[in-house]
Structure 1
């Protein structure tokens, strides 16, 4: 049995090994550890370090292990080992005997675990990209059909200005596409292979690091061997994207909780997303959004946890780094679930247009547009126009229609026609505003940008998929 510590340190204390072991969560990277090991073995064979017969045994065993879930689950159930690497060596020793002793040349757990984690987070990023792409495409369609649907912008949680539902949704779409672009760009930085770095100072074996990187679908190599094994900045890059997604989704969840509140009521919530009270039968509580809002905070706290652990370490590998990955896996899971829940709510929600128009007409929401029109029409400073509208609203008990009638009479203007949300939006002159023509163009542009980002990323994913397929089919002929 292969036990890394026994030759130098003697038999392990089982309870202490259990405390430091990562076997409880190494299932997350098991497939990628096998792939990395497979690439390493094949490369050693190609470089002449493993005889053909031994290489053939190892490669066949690793390929079968990758595809056989039942055998893999037995491997992962071996909790007495320090980690997946020690468990894998023991498994292979049972399968191929002494052939396994060739495998450790030119590698360390330090460089191999980084490679496996990078491939894992790339795979998870690909899933997130695909989920976000699908949901954003649906949201673009909803927005495109909502150009003439009235809505309200809130500031300080108070109704502030009139807009369209399409314009509101477009703000979410653009923000998440920005995050998506950052996430995709980060993959181009961290999808660089650490293999051949050993424990941190490289190896005297003639390992071709570029060739190894190519075998696994990496985009290149992380050149400095110490940086390659001791840094977890690539985890921080992914967590940054998850953090930003969590901020957007938390805010959107807050929005829809506010919109569905009885005192506002501009959104009718989907009934499968709400719960009632055990005592108050009239209640429709936004349960799914409240849970999503709370769970997304885990991503925020997990991001800080990574920074706290990493900032307290010297350069070089420390076992503290082992504790980071479970936090990342949790954050990915929380993010995926929240995306599905929040977008499902939006997809099913309905705008209560009558309530929106009522708030616009009775809440003075078009006051800014009236003040701007007065300033432009009369050629007076905006601050004076602002004061005129404010004083007129106060005189008429905040009834905008009556206030505008008073302004028209006192200033000899005709602004009454602007007390109409459609005309107010059409009057907007700046790109990106709620003017339906601008929103329509914005949505078309966002759709094109989203498609391009997705297409470019899928090419990177395809390269990785081809590499995996090739590795699983590579043969060493006797």
Structure 2
């Protein structure tokens, strides 16, 4: 069987070119979406009297048989027909005869593949959102379980101030919430129906694009046929969402790796999410966390790769755009592969509370509160900051803790420091003092947990929410 576009050519394509230009090895995953779009297109052609209704029934039966073959793995792929669209058309003609060639009436592969990509990405966005939702649930469960456990907070990976472990964990909840809002924005752009754009200029047939959109569940149409087939900004936007989301996952995994090391010892990862060494019997390696951190790079690469492909393309369609798929498919597969094991790893990890208490028993962590205390006693903050800095430097030279200094020794740095400052050196009291909205005090974290639960209840099934819901919801009265 000749290729559908072969009429004006006198020579067969060189075998090396066939192999080089074929997208079938990777776009075959679009097969069922291609059938879905073709069935909607076919129904519209019949309703608009562009094809005979009897032929429409024949074509529908053929497409349904092909869908079954794709689903059960028996479909006979043919690389010489270069892509999934031509393979399906070839198979349809084999099944129903020349009438199979009528399906492509008022359609180009340009708008056909654009439709397939919209259908594919729409489904994958919803699946990924559900997994992000599940990860948020696990984080909230973990924060509730360890709600009042203290730990050192860090800046520059140096101990900074005491915080609650639950507060630290919930930071990732809100990062993921913004990721999901970004994904909701992607879905709004994906929810546009490109079919009917033809190769670039539309079609002379009196088609009903709105009917096709309704059949496929799209809420809107592309208003410009050239735009519909020539841009892939919705894919770029998805890859940008994915790059930001996996960056957040990577940062979380970096902390799990550090916290599970002997030097920190804050957590222990479950055996089911670690591996051993082929040489060193004692090793317990955080492979899952390391692979999530490592796979982040390939997601970044896919984003930069597609931006580079698109940056110099004149309107409308160009063969370069075939390069939009492998990076997208790899990114979808990568982020979907990351999320379930990360949720499981967090759910099963053990928190070493005693080690966290040892780490937070460092009264240098309370230095900011000493400076704030001096401000309340009349000092300018910069003066107070300098005074407490000198006090800490003195303690380090003398190898003493702040609580080991006598009132007189403290008073040499500022008279107010000679008073009873015991509460200012207690990490529990320091944490309790940060009770403003978004702070680390137990009451503030409890309020934050309530807000997180409100968010999760709003979409218990994991459905994507409108992106404009970007602010943290207030607690209901």
Same topology, TM > 0.5:
yes
Runs ≥4 in structure 1, deviation > 6 angstroms?
none
Task: List gaps (5 residues or longer) in structure 1.
Answer: 461-478
Partner of 2:378: 379
Q: Secondary structure at the match of 1:25?
A: helix
Q: What SS is found at the alignment partner of 1:262?
A: coil
Matched, 1:46 2:52: no
Judge conservation of contact 2:31–2:70 (CA < 8 Å) in 1: no
Instruction: Tell me if the contact between 1:182 and 1:241 (Cα under 8 Å) persists in the aligned partners.
Output: yes
Equivalences for residues 360-399 of structure 1 within 5 A: 360-362=360-362, 364-376=364-376, 378-397=377-396, 399=401
Cα deviation for residue 278 of structure 1 reads 3.6
Q: String of CA shifts for 1:227-278, please: whole Å, max 9, x gaps.
A: 0000000101111111111110111111111212222222222233333334
Alpha-carbon spacing, 1:403–1:385, altered in 2? closer, same or farther (3 Å): farther
- 1:391 Cα deviation from its structure 2 partner: 1.8
Query: In structure 2, what is the Cα distance between the partners aligned to 1:403 and 1:194?
Result: 74
Alpha-carbon separation, structure 2, partners of 1:51 and 1:227: 31
Does 1:280 find its partner at 2:283? no
TM-score by length of 2: 0.91
Q: Is the 8 A contact 1:389 1:407 kept in 2?
A: no
TM-score by length of 1: 0.91
The 1:368–1:85 alpha-carbon spacing in structure 2 relative to 1, beyond 3 Å, is same
Residues 121, 190 of structure 2: 8 Å contact kept = no
- Kindly state the Cα deviation for residue 88 of structure 1 after the two structures are TM-superposed: 1.0
Q: Residue 469 of structure 2 corresponds to which residue in structure 1? A: none
1:163-182 map, 5 Å: 163-182=163-182
Aligned residues: CA RMSD: 2.1
With over 3 angstroms needed to count, the CA separation of the structure-2 counterparts of 1:345 and 1:457, relative to structure 1, is closer
Mapped contact 1:115–1:193 kept (Cα < 8 A): yes
Name 2:160's counterpart in structure 1: 160
Change (3 A) 1:108 1:83: same
Q: 1:389 to 1:196 in 2, by over 3 A?
A: same
2:190 counterpart of 1:190: yes
Q: Please tell me whether the aligned partners of residues 393 and 403 of structure 1 are also in contact (alpha carbons under 8 angstroms).
A: no
Pick closer, same or farther for the CA change 1:361–1:124 going to 2, 3 Å: same
**1:452 Cα shift?**
2.9
Residues 280-299 of structure 1: per-residue CA shift (max 9 Å, x gap): 33333322211221111100
Partners of 2:463 and 2:270 in 1: how far apart?
34
Alignment of 1:427 with 2:433, yes or no, is: yes
Separation in structure 1 between the aligned mates of residue 282 and residue 93 of structure 2, nearest angstrom: 66
Cα shift readout 1:133-163 (whole Å, capped 9, x = no counterpart): 1221121122122220112221111121111
Question: For 2:32 and 2:405, how far apart are their aligned partners in 1?
Answer: 69
CA distance in 2, matches of 1:266, 1:374: 33
Task: Output aligned runs, 1:121-132, within 5 Å.
Answer: 121-132=121-132
* Equivalent residue number for residue 345 of structure 1: 345
Match of 1:223 in 2: 223
Distance 2:405 2:175 in 1: 37
Please show how residues 29-68 of structure 1 align to structure 2 within 5 Å.
29-68=30-69
Q: Give the SS at the match of 2:281.
A: coil
Alignment of 1:460-471 (within 5 A): none
CA 1:351–1:404: 2 relative to 1, 3 Å: farther
Match of 2:410 among 396, 407, 411: 407
Superposition pairs of residues 78-227 of structure 1, within 5 angstroms: 78-227=78-227
- 1:13 and 2:19 are equivalent in the alignment: no
Kindly tell me: are residues 456 and 207 of structure 1, through their superposed partners in 2, closer, same or farther at Cα, counting changes over 3 Å? farther
**Cα separation, 2, equivalents of 1:26 and 1:280:** 44
Matched, 1:442 2:448: yes
| Partner of residue 474, structure 1 | none
- SS where residue 152 of structure 1 aligns? strand
Taking a change above 3 Å as real, the CA distance of residues 392 and 71 of structure 1, as seen in their structure-2 partners, is closer
- Whether contact under 8 Å (2:184, 2:464) holds in the other structure is no
SS at structure 2 position matched to 1:37: helix
Tell me the secondary structure at the aligned position of residue 104 of structure 2: coil
Quick one: structure 1 residues 239 and 266, their matched pair in 2 at CA, closer, same or farther if it must change by over 3 Å? same
For the 8 Å contact 2:176–2:245, the answer to whether it is kept is yes
Q: Are the equivalent residues in 1 in contact too, given 2:27–2:325 (CA < 8 A)?
A: no
Contact 2:459 2:465 in 1 (8 A): no
**CA–CA separation in structure 2 for the residues paired with 1:48 and 1:2:** 28
CA distance, structure 1, for counterparts of residue 158 and residue 90 of structure 2: 64
Contact 2:435/2:443 (8 A) holds in 1: no
- Quickly say closer, same or farther: Cα 1:317–1:98, change in 2 above 3 A: same
